């Protein structure tokens, strides 16, 4: 087996290490598996630019809170409600 050194940002390495401990696997084992999958063509790094739909689907899969609604629509509706409330407050009488 070839031994090498790689440079990884500290924050990513620490998160990977914590996840590896939780899943009872070594970080080096994860790296070997990912490299093998990349060489086999299972992982495509050429498409670093993800489409908006792909990112939304990934976010929904990772976080159940957005599984039932589109985050953009939800936030837009929320902002609209706040704008309407602000207008009402502007026109409200203080002595009413």
Mind listing the pLDDT tens digit for each residue in 52-91?
Answer: 777 767 766 666 665 666 777 778 888 888 888 888 888 7
Joined tokens for residue 40 = 């086999």
Q: 96 vs 82, which has greater pLDDT?
A: 82
Structure-block tokens of residue 49: 């630019």
Angle separating helix axes 52-62 and 71-91, nearest 10 degrees: 90
Cα–Cα distance, 65 to 85 (Å, whole number): 26
pTM over 0.85: no
């Amino acid at each position: 087996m070839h031994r090498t050194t790689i440079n990884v940002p500290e924050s990513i390495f620490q998160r990977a290490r914590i996840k590896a401990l939780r899943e009872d696997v070594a970080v080096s084992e994860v790296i070997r598996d990912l490299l093998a999958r990349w060489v086999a063509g299972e992982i495509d790094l050429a498409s670093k630019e993800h489409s908006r739909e792909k990112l939304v689907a990934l976010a929904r899969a990772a976080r159940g809170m957005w599984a039932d609604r589109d985050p953009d629509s939800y936030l837009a509706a929320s902002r609209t409600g706040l704008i309407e409330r602000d207008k009402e407050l502007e026109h409200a009488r203080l002595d009413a």
